[in-house]
Structure 1
Amino acid sequence: MLAEKNIRLDVQGLRAVAVLAVIIYHVNKAWLPSGFVGVDVFFVISGFIITSLIVGRKENFDWKGFYWGRVKRIAPAYFLMLAVVALVSAVLFLPADFKFFKDSLKAALSFTSNSYFEGFGSYFAPRAHELPLLHTWSLAIEMQFYLFLPVLVCFLPARLLRPVFVLLGIGLLAWSEYKLFNKSEQAVYFSLVARFPEFLIGAFVALLPPKNSLPMRYKSLIGAGGALLLALSVVFIDVQHFPGMWTLLPCIGTALLIAARHGPVSTLLAAKPMVWVGGVSYSLYLWHWPILAFIRYYTGQYELQMVWLAVFVISSLVVAWLSYRWVELPVRHVQGIRTVQKKMLAIAVCVFAVIGVSKEVNVAVVDKLPVEMTRYAPSDEICHGKVVGDCTRGYPGSSPRVLVIGDSHAAQLNYFFDAVGVKNEMAFRVITASSCVPITGFDVERLPLWAQDSCRSQIETVDALMAEADVIVLAGMWQYQTQSDEFMLAFSRFIEAAAEQNKRVFVLAQIPMFDTNFLRIHRFIALGLPVQVTQNNEWKSANSKIEAAVHDVSSAQFLDFSESEFFASAPFENNLLIYLDNHHLNESGARRYGQYAASFFQKNLLKIDN
């Protein structure tokens, strides 16, 4: 790192702009729609500073000292954060959620979390804003960048550095655009290759000759131009088309601000409050996201109420300052490699010890729940996203004449149809997929990448089974599905086509949905934490929308048990918790729901003439 006396105060202020933009965006995307570009500002600054370091010592470059300096700068506070987050997650998280956390922790420890989150996806994983280590992807990219830049700078002739950086940057930006065009947004967003041009822009600025001879008015114009580009960037860039060519807007803006050095904008950036925030920006970035993720995990809400917003702001600033004052500064200023190594070894031992016991802590702090409360069916026994056996539920030995289709809201009904089938001596074939109602015309592209292939596969399975079915039953999380006009069109066409083939169609209403995950509520109560249960009423309007679509087809019927006595005390039924999370039944709930509905099915719906 540059010596303290050589730190540019305007660049420190620019760090403050970057971290504040990121934090505002993380708190509420609507407040600063493109605040995520703050990360790109950090990348440009890193490219500038690291290249300045290397070029200044190129003739006698100390490879060991360089990499040790990077480790000393980043690792202590980073690994301490990982240990604390692991301990809090072990206490707060459900075992199933903690498993996802442990996977991300392994990636974060090896600075490969960008690759981990690039391919991350599971319907039952915590939501993205509840993943406490999601932000480590950018630090992983930064550490990976440090491996490559010294090689480029040290082994290329000085006269070739700038043209090579320009050509390499253009080539990588073109690659990013190609990947974005091919709908690989998530892969590009977390890619070192896609982010490398951002570092190169900062590196290019470091290679420019001094501009001290420029009149002040030109420096002021450069700074104002950079500020304007950056201001436009944090408001107007669409994350779905980023990085790619759009990355030039914030990165060139940042480069202009660094190149200006003087002028009104640089003076503003060098103001004491900005410099202070810039000084703690690394620790603030490290700690703000886990704190925010834990609050959201506990409350179950994305948008923070005022009291939680105050808790977030105060705790983030306090923890960041403590991390900066007692971890960053002492390690940064300690003299002697051996002394630093001993201190870091001691820290590493403590950190890995905490991480090592976190799994045991997770299962020990709260009594283990019965398995039937932690799932709606064994994943390896149901045809959810895949075909397992003949996908038959209900009465053993009976030929399935009813085809059940839907997303996880149909998958949760496997034991429901077991109960209905046993009582009525009939069988059902249940084909489902995550977030996907597997019918012809379903708009697969709106699903997360991890869900698309299984959705397409299940659509093909349903198409092959349609001819054998006399009755079609559809169930879904209509609150999600009805947001898509394409889905509504495909849904209407599907039930109309089934009716034309003389098939009876029954569409089950979405069950009541809550804002509260009840397995989490159980854990929080066991931990002595206050909880609040609230119902989400958006599902009601979604049910109405589906009912209206079904009403237009004469041989189709909408079945709504959501207002029945079975759900009168939801999420409980006869004092038993029947919900898995805020919108799925657990195994016990699915069985009880089937037992409740079985007689209704027998009398009114599923009499199939032999």
Structure 2
Amino acid sequence: MIYRREIDGLRAAAVMPVILFHAGFSLFSGGFIGVDVFFVISGFLITSIILEEMRNRTFSLAAFFERRARRILPALFLVVLCCLPFAWLWVMPEEFRAFSDSLIATSLSGANFLFWFKSGYFAPEAGEVPLLHIWSLAVEEQYYMFFPLLVIFMWKRKPSWLFAVLVTIALASLAYSEWASRVFPSANFYFLPSRAWEFLAGSIGSAMQLKGQKRGSDPLSLLGFGMIAFSVFYFDETSPIPSTLALLPVVGAVLVLLYARPGTWVAALLSTRALTMIGQISYSAYLWHQPLFAFARIRSIDPPPLSVMGVLTCVSLVIAYVSWRFVEQPFRRHERRLLPSTRSLVASVSLVLAAFIAFGIYGHDTRGVPWRLPAPIKEFMASNDWSKTCLLEGASGWDAMPIKGCVFNGNHPQTYAIFGDSLASSLTPALAERLDSMNIGLQQITHSFCAPVADVSMVSHQARDCGAFNAAAIDYLIRSRVKTVFLAASWKIFFEQSRYMFKGEEVATSDVGQRLRDAFDRTVGESTSAGIRVVIIYPHPRGDTEIAAKVAKLMHKGTPAPTITIAQDEFLKQSAPSYTYLDDPEDTHVLRVDPAKIFCGMETGRCDLAREGKTFIFDKVHFTPAGAEAVADEIMVTLGRDHMADTNGMAALSSE
């Protein structure tokens, strides 16, 4: 295949927006579409190579996969190897366990599945995941597994139909991505069926080129480049990508590939020395930038300023050049290349992958290898972890209620219940201890990602069972002898979703405001109508980093008793959307507990997340034992004001 400098320039135009987007430069709000452009380029080049070799009767599937391995794996292995010591030294146990999981997934070409299951690409914590960007490499590897087989199959039977088959599959994939962007947006972002049409767009362009389309066009190439640029600067995290909206950068990339020929303005721009050099190192640059950014964020006490991220952007390009020059090239060149035989390559790759997988399993099974940390840090993290006891996940464990083993102090004549998600789980031990001293038991009814709201759930994979769980829990509480129930959840996360599931139907945020309010009111109303006193636990202040880890980092740097705060105005801004819903129920049998009374006000205008070494929040959501005890004490004060109960267990409300 003839080398085209402008394609390397297009690679540079794709990789730099991705890097700058990940660095946090808001101007490049749609920089992530550089990945879509890469998919088009990949489809174009791979198809061009395969079709040319098929026509020359030189194509070999084994040789194809060997070329792909030499292209992808050496630089990837180097990046992963370089990540290991920094993760070992700097990453806290829970995050190290997640890193270990990503190591396994990367080795098995399944990183996209892991990151779909674990977290969203645009989630705040995603910036601290060193291997998050490998999801796109996994999608590309999965495409390489299937596409050559399709071409071989069609070439042997009906080569004249290949173009029509590519177009048909691409249209089906595009239609699927448009549908999935509305129904399963997270899975849509990460999975090959939704992305296949982007690769195939490049394949279709390649087929058009082989049929004779080799003439340049200034208007069409400028249009294509403008479509890509528009997407980079005007798309943002809320843009449903991939979907028909992604036609803008994808068709733009195809137009550039087809019509930015020598002699056109776009080809002249993309063929400049700077862009072609960045294009040549673009794969290494893509691999290196995310670990650099992630470890900078992990190591920093506060989010690094843009000036630091700008310097790291330049550093990533320098390291990428070194990686390209001394790792990529030696494995790919035809003469005097490293591991020249296929057998030596396969053996070496297998050995490295086995080592990565074994290390990943070790990190997972040991829950992040906590012993690698200094003893004071290890003890601090262990003593401040949040309680996951009786926190259910998936569709099992709640077939019968009360949930087996989740009734604390059950020998007491009266039992309350706590109902909610993982935040409620983190609060349970301290609340159970306080109630035990008053001869009251506590039932824990908690499920990950399930806010206690009837008929509503988030759309994430982890929340798929929340509708059934909440229905079973509410039905049980109404029929039970429980006369006080605490509703606790990560309200900020729940009430700020972009989409929700209402009785199995996915609905966009713009349509759910009143429906959410009605659902929460109905949840509270059904309980109080059954004679149950409802205690709503309001939102607590949240940080923008892992709080216990931040305290541990400060302790490790010599600050013995750190205090971590946020501005009270920021907390009020965080909580305002949740308050809109939580303030709504006006039933007289509803009590409210506001953690702001505990965490805010020590000094005017601030809220404490950790105070003089005592940490209240473990990550960004869950209470540490100290935080849970403080909230439980405030709950007991609120119950005390309510005079605790009449002879039927129903609250006798005071005038306060």
Q: TM class, shorter-chain normalised?
A: 0.7 to 0.9
TM-superposed CA distance for 1:142, in Å, is 1.7
The more displaced of 556-565 and 459-468 is 556-565
1:54 to 46, 50, 54: 50
Residue deviations 1:195-221 (CA, integer Å, cap 9, x gap): 2222222222222356989876xx112
State whether structure 2 residue 367 is matched by structure 1 residue 329.
no
Preserved CA contact (<8 Å) 1:185 1:240? no
Residue deviations 1:391-449 (CA, integer Å, cap 9, x gap): 755534124443333333322221122122111111232323334322325x31x4422
Instruction: Give the Cα–Cα distance (whole angstroms) in 2 for the partners of residues 45 and 337 of structure 1.
Output: 26
Instruction: Give the Cα–Cα distance (whole angstroms) in 2 for the partners of residues 175 and 241 of structure 1.
Output: 13
Q: Secondary structure at the match of 1:514?
A: coil
Q: How does 1:281-430 map to 2 (within 5 A)?
A: 281-299=282-300, 304-333=304-333, 335=335, 339-341=339-341, 359=363, 363-367=371-375, 368-369=378-379, 373-379=383-389, 381-382=390-391, 387=398, 389-390=403-404, 393-430=407-444
1:558 to 592, 596, 600: 592
Preserved CA contact (<8 Å) 1:518 1:582? yes
Residues 335 and 553 of structure 1, relative CA distance in 2, 3 Å threshold: same
Instruction: Give the Cα–Cα distance (whole angstroms) in 1 for the partners of residues 528 and 37 of structure 2.
Output: 57
Instruction: Give the Cα–Cα distance (whole angstroms) in 2 for the partners of residues 207 and 299 of structure 1.
Output: 49
Query: Aligned pair count?
Result: 597
TM-score by length of 2: 0.80
Residue deviations 1:119-158 (CA, integer Å, cap 9, x gap): 3359xx9933322212112112222222333333344144
TM-superposed CA distance for 1:13, in Å, is 0.6
Instruction: Give the Cα–Cα distance (whole angstroms) in 1 for the partners of residues 15 and 250 of structure 2.
Output: 15
TM-superposed CA distance for 1:515, in Å, is 3.7
TM-superposed CA distance for 1:272, in Å, is 1.4
Q: Equivalent residue for 2:466?
A: 454
Q: How does 1:150-299 map to 2 (within 5 A)?
A: 150-155=148-153, 156=155, 157-181=158-182, 183-209=183-209, 219-234=217-232, 235-236=234-235, 241-260=240-259, 261-262=261-262, 263-299=264-300
Q: How does 1:102-181 map to 2 (within 5 A)?
A: 102-121=100-119, 127-155=125-153, 156=155, 157-181=158-182
TM-superposed CA distance for 1:493, in Å, is 4.1
The more displaced of 350-359 and 165-174 is 350-359
TM-score by length of 1: 0.85
1:508 to 514, 521, 537: 537
Q: Equivalent residue for 1:466?
A: 478
Instruction: Give the Cα–Cα distance (whole angstroms) in 2 for the partners of residues 151 and 600 of structure 1.
Output: 67
Q: Equivalent residue for 2:39?
A: 43
Preserved CA contact (<8 Å) 1:94 1:519? no
Preserved CA contact (<8 Å) 2:452 2:470? yes
Residues 351 and 291 of structure 1, relative CA distance in 2, 3 Å threshold: farther
Preserved CA contact (<8 Å) 1:408 1:434? yes
Residue deviations 1:173-209 (CA, integer Å, cap 9, x gap): 233334445x122222222232222222222222235
The more displaced of 184-193 and 553-562 is 553-562
Instruction: Give the Cα–Cα distance (whole angstroms) in 2 for the partners of residues 200 and 566 of structure 1.
Output: 55
TM-superposed CA distance for 1:60, in Å, is 2.2
Instruction: Give the Cα–Cα distance (whole angstroms) in 2 for the partners of residues 572 and 198 of structure 1.
Output: 47
Amino acid at match of 1:389: I
Preserved CA contact (<8 Å) 2:521 2:584? yes
Preserved CA contact (<8 Å) 2:420 2:489? yes
Amino acid at match of 1:25: F
Instruction: Give the Cα–Cα distance (whole angstroms) in 2 for the partners of residues 470 and 50 of structure 1.
Output: 66
Identity of aligned residues (%): 26
2:98 to 97, 100, 111: 100
Amino acid at match of 1:475: A
Q: How does 1:503-542 map to 2 (within 5 A)?
A: 503-525=532-554, 527-528=556-557, 533-535=564-566, 537=568, 538-541=570-573, 542=575
Preserved CA contact (<8 Å) 2:449 2:466? no
Amino acid at match of 2:271: A
Preserved CA contact (<8 Å) 1:130 1:297? yes
Residue deviations 1:35-76 (CA, integer Å, cap 9, x gap): 222112111111221222222222122333322222111111
Listed as ranges, the gaps of 5+ residues in structure 2 are 498-512, 649-656
TM-superposed CA distance for 1:547, in Å, is 9.4
2:490 to 457, 477, 490: 477
Q: Secondary structure at the match of 2:340?
A: helix
Residues 105 and 264 of structure 1, relative CA distance in 2, 3 Å threshold: same
Q: Equivalent residue for 2:66?
A: 68
Q: Secondary structure at the match of 2:80?
A: helix
Q: Equivalent residue for 2:510?
A: none
State whether structure 2 residue 449 is matched by structure 1 residue 431.
no
TM-superposed CA distance for 1:603, in Å, is 5.7
Preserved CA contact (<8 Å) 2:452 2:488? no
Instruction: Give the Cα–Cα distance (whole angstroms) in 1 for the partners of residues 49 and 33 of structure 2.
Output: 25
The more displaced of 589-598 and 514-523 is 589-598
Amino acid at match of 1:221: P
Instruction: Give the Cα–Cα distance (whole angstroms) in 2 for the partners of residues 209 and 572 of structure 1.
Output: 62
Residue deviations 1:568-598 (CA, integer Å, cap 9, x gap): 5955578644442244222354346536754
Residues 126 and 251 of structure 1, relative CA distance in 2, 3 Å threshold: closer
Instruction: Give the Cα–Cα distance (whole angstroms) in 2 for the partners of residues 34 and 426 of structure 1.
Output: 54
Residue deviations 1:225-246 (CA, integer Å, cap 9, x gap): 2123323433348766332433
Instruction: Give the Cα–Cα distance (whole angstroms) in 2 for the partners of residues 139 and 264 of structure 1.
Output: 31
Listed as ranges, the gaps of 5+ residues in structure 1 are none
Q: Secondary structure at the match of 2:619?
A: coil
Amino acid at match of 1:40: D
Instruction: Give the Cα–Cα distance (whole angstroms) in 1 for the partners of residues 356 and 163 of structure 2.
Output: 46
Residue deviations 1:311-342 (CA, integer Å, cap 9, x gap): 43233222222212221223233625774356
RMSD (Å) for aligned C-alpha atoms: 3.7
TM-superposed CA distance for 1:17, in Å, is 0.9
Residues 522 and 170 of structure 1, relative CA distance in 2, 3 Å threshold: same
Preserved CA contact (<8 Å) 1:393 1:417? no
Instruction: Give the Cα–Cα distance (whole angstroms) in 2 for the partners of residues 213 and 171 of structure 1.
Output: 25
